[in-house]
Structure 1
């Protein structure tokens, strides 16, 4: 006889761990399944360096960061662990629209400054600014792996069962209506029954969607998910040139010909430099199953050339490099949707980490029917049905 659980969450990355935490602290019976280990190295939530920032051109997301930060603070307090290290952030470039971002932050009451390029260069001579610059000191760096483990620990403390090395192969709907609604099968033949399932599988989600017992109309209404194998490079601080390694903010630079971001690399690369990447520039792959972990030489060359010309405070030769999965929707909104007691969660498009505790709250609300999820994260079919029946 298969083991059973009221709620099974698949995937112990940031979103899955947050969902399991939220469900467990509400008193639900929860099992968290992970194909490898929490914050696995070949997923999207590994390592110690993800940007936390408030600056968005869309006020919705800025308000959501404020909500998420309250949950981050709660998580840090309950675990006694620093999860976000403050560094501040600079946003610049002709396509980044720092003036627009400043207006959004002003409306939200978030501390910030709008600086000229010369004013910014006087503060951070290690960066070659090309436009006005938005500075907001409340930004920082999330330790993703520590955050995942903190949420998994709180979920377990709340009674959740955590199973690692459990690689989901397929889910079938049980005809026995007296029992659990679903039976989950692992790649090695294990099974577990569940009344409700939450799938938060990152780059593995496109493949899993093919073997989930979801209505055809629901599947057809979901946004297209694309997976990219992104590349990031670590460059040493040039301390000998007079630039200070202790004075590096996170940055997002949107020039006409390239979009880049950077942040202090943390323990991923021995705290010795800045992590720099070209945004959404990695090769597309069908799903995480096809990732190679091999860095594209052309992408490396573009980023090295960018560092050489735009970041004079860094040695332009990378001393470490890595790959990471980005799962994207066409408009970079998240996907948090539900049909027939099966919830799909994909905090997509390279900007979901900062929202992890809030995404867990939204996903738990949707899975339990205890609260709504923003309509922009659900398909038009789901939103219309929710409006008709008055439930999430």
Structure 2
């Protein structure tokens, strides 16, 4: 006979680890399945820096920001780990939404101040600022390589089971739950397949979500927005001005010819020991997550170097190390957080989800326990 479980979380990246943590806090029996080993660099949750950029004005995201700031503080206290370095975030450029962002954050009690480019340059001389600047002191950098083990460690302490090197090769939806066929390939694995049943599954499989759900058999049809998986190729640039201070930053272009060689807005931050990370947002080549080159696209990389020469005077644009990660993006860049039958889906974080990780874990736990629905903008049926 197969094993019968309560809640299975499929995918042990940021969102799956947070969902396991949130469910275990509620006393639920939870098993987290991750196809790769701890600390792998194949998906979207590796590296030591992600910007916690508070630059939102839509009420759903602003509410999640306020909750997330409190939850990150709580996680640091519970885990004994520093997960967030509050360097602040500066968003700049001819973005007409910046006044709306400032008003929305101020109303929510999240600090935001407008600066002129000259005022900003006096504080952060490594960056050349463009037209208008919004400084958000409550933002900073999160550390995925510390956060994921912290979530999993706290979940395990409350009874969760974490199984690495365990791939779900088939998900079958039944009237009363799900049936999973598992393949384990890690140390000590005996080979062959294992079949387990569960009352429900939380799918947080990142770039593998569509592959997993496309093969789901059983009653009903799981429909979600199309998920586009891209290989993003930011780079770490060597710091040339050792005295410069570095907040996280986001630079939105305008429509004039001066921005003609831009691919998208640019984000960036300092990664201690590695340099200043900068990258285009969500414009890398579309890939199969099981067959990636991990190599930078040379034209995009050259354009990123041109950006660094023009806008980041504190770095050496000719001294860099390219890095690689994946985005899984919905058409509207809003997340998918919903429940369809016995399957809870957390997907499509579109390159801006990591800051919300503990809130997403709470929402997924709400959906799994029937506590409350997610905001409508995250509906799978939209």
TM-score, length basis structure 1 = 0.89
Distance 1:110 1:160 in 2: 34
CA contact (8 A) 1:51 1:250 kept: yes
Indicate yes or no: 2:120 matched with 1:120: yes
Indicate yes or no: 2:277 matched with 1:260: no
CA contact (8 A) 1:214 1:339 kept: no
User: What is the aligned partner in structure 2 of residue 384 from structure 1?
Assistant: none
Within 5 A, what are the aligned runs for 1:307-318? 307-318=308-319
Tell me how far 1:232 sits from its aligned partner.
Answer: 1.1
Indicate yes or no: 2:157 matched with 1:153: no
Distance 2:27 2:302 in 1: 51
User: What is the aligned partner in structure 2 of residue 274 from structure 1?
Assistant: 276
User: What is the aligned partner in structure 2 of residue 223 from structure 1?
Assistant: 225
CA contact (8 A) 2:180 2:197 kept: yes
Residue 200 of structure 1, aligned match among 197, 204, 215: 204
Distance 2:53 2:275 in 1: 20
Within 5 A, what are the aligned runs for 1:1-392? 1-95=1-95, 97-173=97-173, 181-187=177-183, 188-213=192-217, 216=220, 218-219=222-223, 222-239=224-241, 244-245=243-244, 247-256=245-254, 257=259, 258=262, 259-266=265-272, 271-285=273-287, 287-380=288-381
Tell me how far 1:325 sits from its aligned partner.
Answer: 0.6
User: What is the aligned partner in structure 2 of residue 389 from structure 1?
Assistant: none
* Change in 2 beyond 3 A, CA 1:348/1:215: farther
* 5+ residue gaps, structure 2: 184-191
Between 304-313 and 96-105, report the one with greater CA deviation. 96-105
Distance 1:37 1:217 in 2: 31
CA contact (8 A) 2:208 2:289 kept: yes
Tell me how far 1:217 sits from its aligned partner.
Answer: 5.1
Tell me how far 1:37 sits from its aligned partner.
Answer: 2.3
CA contact (8 A) 1:14 1:39 kept: no
CA contact (8 A) 2:57 2:105 kept: no
Distance 1:218 1:185 in 2: 18
Tell me how far 1:101 sits from its aligned partner.
Answer: 2.1
Tell me how far 1:82 sits from its aligned partner.
Answer: 0.7
User: What is the aligned partner in structure 2 of residue 386 from structure 1?
Assistant: none
Distance 1:215 1:173 in 2: 7
Distance 1:65 1:212 in 2: 33
Distance 1:359 1:376 in 2: 14
Figure out how many residues of one structure are paired with residues of the other and give that number. 366
Distance 2:12 2:38 in 1: 5
How far does the alpha carbon of each residue in 1:136-168 deviate from its partner, in whole angstroms, 9 at most, with x for none? 111110001211110001111111111110011
Distance 1:215 1:129 in 2: 55
Distance 1:203 1:174 in 2: 24
TM-score, length basis structure 2 = 0.91
Tell me how far 1:216 sits from its aligned partner.
Answer: 5.0
More helix by share: 1
* Change in 2 beyond 3 A, CA 1:28/1:119: same
* Partner SS, residue 235 of structure 1: strand
Distance 1:355 1:338 in 2: 19
Tell me how far 1:214 sits from its aligned partner.
Answer: 6.2
* Partner SS, residue 167 of structure 1: strand
User: What is the aligned partner in structure 1 of residue 186 from structure 2?
Assistant: none
CA contact (8 A) 2:225 2:381 kept: no
* Change in 2 beyond 3 A, CA 1:364/1:39: farther
Tell me how far 1:218 sits from its aligned partner.
Answer: 4.1
* Partner SS, residue 290 of structure 2: helix
Tell me how far 1:215 sits from its aligned partner.
Answer: 5.4
